[in-house]
Amino acid sequence: MIVEITGLRKIYEGKQRVVAVDGIDLGVREGEIYGLLGPNGAGKTTTISVCTTRALPSEGVVRINGIDVVKSAAVARTCIGVVPQYNTLDRACTIFENINFHCRYFGFSRADAKQRTEQLLEQFHLSERAGAYPSQLSGGLAQRVQIARAIAHRPKVLFLDEPSAGLDPQSRIAMWEAVSGLRKEGITVVLTTHYMEEADELCDRVAIIDHGKILVEDTPAALKQSIGAQRLYDLDLRSEGDHAALTALLEQLAGVTSVESLPSGLRIFADSADGLLAGIVNTANPYGLRDLRITETSLETVFIKLTGRDLRE
Amino acid sequence: MTTAIAIPPQAKISKASLYTRAFLGLYLRDLYVLRRELFPFAIRVCMNPLLFLFVFTYVIPGMSSHGGTAAMNPSAALANSGISYSTVLLPGLMAVGIMFSGIAAVALPLAVEFGSTREIDDRVMCPLPVAFVAIEKIIFSAMQSVFAACIVYPLAFYVPAVHPTTHVASWPFLIVVVVLASLTAGALGLTIGTSVKPSQIGLIFGVVVIPITFLGCVYYPWALLSHIKWLQYGVLINPIVYMSEGLRAALTPTLDHMDPAVIVLMLCVALTTLTWLGMRGFLRRVIG
Say yes or no: B269 contacts chain A, CB-CB below 8 A: no
Residue A248: per-residue pLDDT: 85
- Tallying the residues shown for chain B, one arrives at 288
Q: Is the pLDDT of residue B1 over 50?
A: no
On whether both A67 and A171 belong to a single domain, the answer is yes
Least confident of A171-180, A285-294, B5-14, B39-48: B5-14
- A287 and A219 housed in the same domain: no
Does residue B288 register a pLDDT over 80? no
pLDDT digits (tens, 9 = 90+) for B112-123: 888 777 888 888
A77 and B127 in contact by Cβ < 8 A?
yes
Q: Closest partner residue to A54 among B13, B129, B288, by Cβ?
A: B288
Last residue of a domain, one of A196, A224, A252: A224
Residue B35 contacts A where some CB pair is shorter than 8 Å:
no
Task: Give the helix/strand (H/E) hosting A176.
Answer: helix A169-184
Please name which of B247, B246, B238 lies closest in space to residue B274, comparing C-alpha atoms.
Answer: B238
- Shared domain for A282 and A213, answered yes or no, is no
Comparing alpha-carbon positions, the chain B residue that sits nearest to A181 is: B1
Q: Which residue in chain A has the smallest CA separation from B284?
A: A55
What pLDDT score does A305 carry? 78
Is pLDDT at A38 greater than 90 in this prediction?
no
**Which chain B residues touch A77 with a CB distance below 8 Å?**
125-127
CATH number of the CATH domain containing A73: 3.40.50.300
Query: Measured between CB atoms, which of B7, B33, B120 is closest to A154?
Result: B7
Chain B residues within 8 A of A53 when measuring between CB atoms: 125, 287
Look at residue B2 and tell me whether its pLDDT is greater than 50: no
Kindly state whether residues A169 and A291 are assigned to the same domain.
Answer: no
The residue segments making up the domain with residue A284 are: 228-296
**For position B65, what pLDDT does the model report?**
63
Predicted pLDDT at A203: 92
Contacts of residue B123, Cβ cutoff 8 Å, sequence gap at least 6 = A105, B26, B29, B133
B-contacting residues of A 197-236, CB under 8 Å?
Answer: none
Which residues in chain B have their CB less than 8 angstroms from residue A121's CB? none
Q: Phi, psi at residue B227, to the nearest 5°?
A: -80, -10
Same domain, A218 and A195: yes
pLDDT, residue B139, reads: 96
Residue A148 lies in a domain: yes
Instruction: Give the residue with greater pLDDT, A226 vs A210.
Output: A210
Q: Are residues A235 and A211 in the same domain?
A: no
pLDDT at residue B8 in the model: 45
Q: For residue A104, tell me if it sits in a domain.
A: no
Of the candidates B203, B230, B212, B260, the one whose C-alpha atom is nearest the C-alpha of residue B95 is: B212
Q: Please say if the pLDDT value at position B5 is more than 50.
A: no
Q: Which residues of B touch A84 (CB under 8 A)?
A: 118, 121
For A220-250, give the DSSP string. Answer: HHHHHHHTS-SEEEEEEESS-S--HHHHHHH
Residue A123 lies in a domain: no
What does the alpha-carbon distance between residue B181 and residue B168 come to, in Å, rounded to a whole number? 17
Measured between alpha carbons, how far apart are the two ends of chain A, in Å? 34
Label each residue of B60-112 as H, E or C: HHHHHHCCCCHHHCHHHHHHCCCCCHHHHHHHHHHHHHHHHHHHHHHHHHHHH
Q: Same domain, yes or no, for A53 and A200?
A: yes
The arithmetic mean of pLDDT across residues B50-72, rounded, is 73
Report the CATH number at residue A248.
Answer: 3.30.70.100
pLDDT given at position B4: 41
Mean confidence (pLDDT) of chain A:
88
Task: Evaluate whether residue A282 is within a structural domain.
Answer: yes
B13 touches chain A (CB under 8 A): yes
Say whether both A147 and A274 belong to one domain. no
How far is B46 from A146, CA to CA, in rounded Å? Answer: 38
Give the count of beta carbons closer than 10 Å to the beta carbon of residue A13. Answer: 8
pLDDT of B49 > 90? The answer is no
Q: Specify if A39 maps to a domain.
A: yes
pLDDT, mean of residues A36-49: 89
What distance lies between CA B153 and its chain's CA centroid? 14
Please check whether residues A194 and A48 belong to one and the same domain. yes
A-chain residues near B23 (CB < 8 A): none
Domain identity same for A205 and A256: no
* Domain boundaries of chain B, sorted by first residue: 15-65+72-286
What's the pLDDT band for B7 if we cut at 50, 70, 90? very low
Tell me if A56 and B119 make a contact (CB, 8 A cut-off): no
Q: Are residues A34 and A144 in the same domain?
A: yes
Query: What region, left, alpha or beta, does residue A25 occupy, with left being phi > 0 and alpha being psi -120 to 50 degrees?
Result: beta
B279 pLDDT tier (thresholds 50, 70, 90): very high
The residue of chain B nearest to residue A77, with distances taken between CA atoms, is B127
* B3 pLDDT more than 70: no
The model scores a pTM over 0.95: no
- ipTM for the assembly: 0.84
Mutate to test the interface with B, among A18, A58, A79, A105 (most CBs of B within 10 A): A105
All residues at 6 or more sequence positions from A273 whose CB lies less than 8 Å from its CB, including other chains: A254, A255
For residue B125, give how far its alpha carbon lies from the nearest alpha carbon of chain A (Å).
6
Summarised one tens digit per residue, pLDDT across range B126-158 is: 999 999 999 999 999 999 999 999 999 999 998
A75 Cα to chain B: minimum distance (Å): 6
Contact indicator for A165, A85 with CB cutoff of 8 Å? yes
Could you tell me which of A201, A197, A196, A202 has the C-alpha nearest to residue A183? A202
Report chain B residues whose CB lies below 8 A from the CB of A112: 5-7
Confirm or reject contact between B124 and chain A (CB < 8 A): yes
Q: By the 8 A CB rule, do B103 and B239 touch?
A: no
- Mean pLDDT, range B222-251, rounded to an integer: 92
Number of folded domains that form chain A:
2
**Based on the domain organization, do A146 and A285 belong to the same domain?**
no
Give, for A8, the enclosing helix (H) or strand (E): strand A3-12
